[in-house]
Amino acid sequence: MENTKLASLLNSFSATDWRLFKDYVYAPFFNKSEKLQLLFDHIYQYHKRTNSFPNTKLIWKKIYRTEAYNKRRMEALQTDLNKLAEGFIAYQDFREGNKGLNYKLHLLRAARKRELDKVFSLTQKTIDKQLAKLSWKTPDQLYFEYLLLLEIDYMNMEKSNTPRNLNGMIEKLIESFVLNLLYKYCTLFNRKRIINLKLSVESVDPLLTYLNSTDFSHIPPILLYKKLLLSLLEPHKEPLFRAFVEQMDLLIDTLPEEQLYVLSIFRLNWLSKKINDGYSEYQQETFNFYLLLLEKDRILTPEGILRLGSFKNIITSALRLGKLDWAEKFIHQYKNKLPEHSQEASYRYNMAAIHFAREEFRAAVELVKEVKFNFLPYNLNKESLLLKSYYELGAIEDMTRVSNRFDKYIRNNKQISKEIQFQYLNFIKYIKKISKIERGNQLKINILEKELQKQKQVFHIAWFYQKLAQKK
């Protein structure tokens, strides 16, 4: 049953999920079939021992003993268990989703319909207390507040002549919609730089007009995302970015994990763009921000996982400042925090980056030349690292082979934005040019130097200036 829909679903379970699902399968309210209980038991025990799933014929013998194997009946039994598993994950989301507020809202609604006034009142107070503790509200939570006001309004209409709070409901709907729009626009304009997207600045004008004419000072998420959006629309205007950073720093201790991660990406992408454009003074600011996240213990996900992009970017930031020993210590300290399926490849790439920084170019090549990633930024960085390593080794034939392969990969990959594609293609073009310049040929050195100064849109531009200086 390895490649079945049921196996795929069960593979997503944590140890806690397995235990809770067992209770679910044995609860008569959800399941009265003893055969399904037996099926679950055999799958559960087998998976605990082997971390895999048993053969369906083996399961059949455990359940039906001497009966001849019937494929259709076995498939039907698996389908029924799969439906139970789907019901279980839906139930878990219902109970725990939106910090348990969705469940409480349904309880409130049920109490109103059954005219259980005391239950309604107590549930409303519980919800109000929980909402008061939220330091940050998502679009879903703002929409939840609208639904809460709607239930209270229905209750008041049924029980008294209390005036309807229509303005309050409309305000909550608008707040939820505006924050949702800000989330989506910020994500789109951030991704536009990396991934090819058709998106015009003018499409945001109606939202900005409304934001500028409406007071949202009581909703910090809207204030923060508005400043972020303005900085994304005009990334060349540093004061807009600084306004976003200042607002983020004021709220950083109250930001939920997921929001902190998302906002950190926006912040670091802006700094990274400046660094890639040759402004090295932003390197220390980048590293300091990572140190801040580490000191506050805010670098891991709530599940204790370090994301691949964060791992690589922290090490890159340290290497740019020459903190090689710090970077190597960080790799060994955090490599086991990476997603398990990517630990080895990520470790090899980042150790190769350290070897390159130490001018151990052959070691860098050996670590990454056969490594393949499913993560686009790693693939781009790996190929550029290989090219620079082969250049340093004087292995021009290998460098040419990799550059041709890399050129084809960039041109054919539709996920890569025009801007990123242009910068990497320029990188390939100029590494080929610089490899053909003889040491001391001042005329060719000056020509290429002027080209780079004029072009600017080249990845690793600081490295090119360094190599040109060595040829003088």
If one counts every other C-beta atom within 10 angstroms of the C-beta of residue 451, the result is 15
Query: What is the full DSSP assignment across 289-346?
Result: HHHHHHHTT-SS-TTSPPPHHHHHHHHHHHHHTT-HHHHHHHHHHHGGGS-GGGHHHH
Q: Are 388 and 460 in contact (CB under 8 A)?
A: yes
CA dihedral (396, 399, 405, 409) positive or negative: negative
C-alpha 291 chain-centroid distance: 20
pLDDT at 416: 85
pLDDT at 231: 94
Per-residue pLDDT of the chain (472 residues; tens, 9 = 90+): 777 899 999 999 988 999 999 999 999 999 999 999 999 999 999 998 988 898 888 889 888 888 899 999 999 999 999 999 999 999 999 988 888 899 999 999 999 999 999 999 999 999 999 999 888 889 999 999 999 999 999 988 877 666 778 899 999 999 999 999 999 999 888 876 655 556 666 788 899 999 999 999 999 999 999 999 999 999 899 999 999 999 999 999 989 888 999 999 899 989 988 887 778 889 999 999 999 999 999 999 888 899 988 999 999 999 999 999 999 999 999 999 998 888 888 999 999 999 999 999 999 999 988 777 777 888 898 999 999 999 999 999 999 999 999 999 999 988 888 888 999 999 999 999 999 999 899 999 999 989 988 887 888 888 999 999 998 8
pLDDT at 198: 63
End-to-end CA distance of the chain: 66
d(CA 443, CA 82): 72
For residue 254, give the nearest of 294, 220, 301, 288 by alpha carbon: 220
Task: State the number of CA atoms in the 13 A half-sphere of 221 facing the CB.
Answer: 25
pTM as predicted = 0.72
pLDDT at 161: 67
Residue 129: C-alpha distances to residues 100, 123, 410 (Å): 13, 10, 53
If one counts every other C-beta atom within 10 angstroms of the C-beta of residue 115, the result is 11
Q: Are 276 and 286 in contact (CB under 8 A)?
A: no
Q: Where are the domains of the chain?
A: 5-98, 100-177
Residues 6 or more apart whose Cβ sits within 8 Å of residue 62: 38, 42
For residue 128, give the nearest of 150, 110, 101, 103 by alpha carbon: 101
